[in-house]
Amino acid sequence: MKGDEDMRSLRGRLWLVNLIILGTLLSGCGTGDQKAKIQLGEVTRSVFYAPQYVALEKGFFKENGLDVELRTTSGGDKTMTALLSGSIDVALVGAETSIYVYQQGADDPVLSFAGLTQTDGTFLVSRKDVGSFSWDSLKGEVFLGQRKGGMPQMAGEFTLKKHGIDPHKDLQLIQNVDFANITAAFISGTGNYVQLFEPQASILEKEGKGHVVASFGTESGQLPYTVYMSKNSFMDSHKDQIQKFTNALSKAQIWVRDHSPEEIAKTISPFFKDTDQVILASSIKRYKEQGTYAETPVISEKAWNNLLDVMDSAGELKQRVPVTKLVDPVFADQAAGGHK
């Protein structure tokens, strides 16, 4: 009958409408599950940044609704250029770079919002086994140092001056070797002493080509050595993403604090496929023992002022910039409060 047909037709249309509505709702749920993407540039690939790789490998960023795409931007200048041009959203780089940008009068200042490492990461390596090391024994020696204006060089020279050594008068100082080639230059015979990060220092020790005699990290004190920073405009328009990023970092920092070097090495090994696990663990152990990895993302005023002292000593500071100008503490304070 026509009435029954009309009823069946109406039911069919209602079923179709319900199906469309359900599909729309499911689609909406899928959109909500999509993770916000953050382009992250790291100044170099280094075991020095172990908590960052833990956050990535353990899925802490994903837990916070972020899809963090990491790429190595190779050098402070290139990293800052990538950040200022917008090709990356967040940079992991030395805190001094934000000061350099500020000194140039940038319209959109770069602000640090979280700290990753809190000491210098380099070690003094001697070609010979010198036994009981004395800083005075460096005088007159050929010293293969780091690039002028970078934090390793500034922290290194700050330490040398602290021990009564003028690096430009008391040493035969070499600073014209690219960062990536310093280890190879030392192995080939350049310099009696060299300033190296891990794992290069441990590798030279294992191969009998060098001996770690001192730590610049221990000697130069706490510094906001490597930090996460972004342009002020990006942070203003992406506050939720920056907070989630900092929360994930904070969780990783606690994880690193509470786990052994061997466990950390195993976790981050996908980022260091060409590095021996024993060397990776020994490098992490050395950094943990001297307190290199920050346990919270908070950047303290004391550490910042020490950074200014180091830069001033190196002749790289036009004027002292208060921490309130270039560090936004809100995100780190909130993250640290939630992960104790």
Give residue for tokens 């690096």.
Answer: 167
Helices (H), 207-271: 216-220, 232-237, 239-258, 261-268
Helices first, then strands: H and E counts in the chain: 16, 10
What was the pLDDT predicted at 147? 84
What was the pLDDT predicted at 20? 39
- The CATH number linked to 196 is 3.40.190.10
Q: How many domains does the chain have?
A: 2
- 340 residues of the chain, pLDDT tens digit each: 444 555 455 454 544 444 433 443 343 444 445 889 999 999 999 999 999 999 999 999 999 999 999 999 988 889 999 999 999 999 999 999 999 999 888 789 999 999 999 999 999 999 999 989 999 999 999 999 998 888 899 999 999 999 999 999 999 999 989 888 999 999 999 999 999 999 999 999 999 999 999 999 999 999 999 999 999 999 999 999 999 999 999 999 999 999 999 999 999 999 999 999 999 999 999 999 999 999 999 999 999 999 999 999 999 999 999 999 999 999 999 999 865 4
Do 198 and 261 fall into the same domain? no
Q: Is residue 11 part of a domain?
A: no
Alpha carbon separation from 86 to 81, 89, 239 (Å, rounded): 8, 6, 17
Q: How far apart are CA 258 and CA 74, in angstroms?
A: 30
Domain final position from 180, 196, 220: 220
What was the pLDDT predicted at 15? 46
What was the pLDDT predicted at 16? 44
What was the pLDDT predicted at 106? 79
Do 241 and 331 fall into the same domain? yes
Alpha carbon separation from 187 to 163, 210, 312 (Å, rounded): 27, 9, 32
Do 246 and 316 fall into the same domain? yes
Read off φ and ψ for residue 200, nearest 5 degrees: -60, -40
Read off φ and ψ for residue 39, nearest 5 degrees: -85, 115
Do 136 and 149 fall into the same domain? yes
DSSP state of 293: B
Q: How far apart are CA 92 and CA 227, in angstroms?
A: 6
Do 263 and 230 fall into the same domain? yes
Do 215 and 244 fall into the same domain? no
Do 234 and 324 fall into the same domain? yes
Domain assignment of residue 267, given as a range: 35-119+223-338
Largest CA distance in the chain: 109
Q: Which residues contact 183 (CB under 8 A, 6 or more apart)?
A: 194, 196, 200, 203, 204
For 135, other C-beta atoms within 10 Å of its C-beta total: 16
Do 265 and 132 fall into the same domain? no
Do 104 and 151 fall into the same domain? no
Do 213 and 236 fall into the same domain? no
pTM of the model: 0.86
Domain final position from 186, 220, 254: 220
Do 53 and 158 fall into the same domain? no
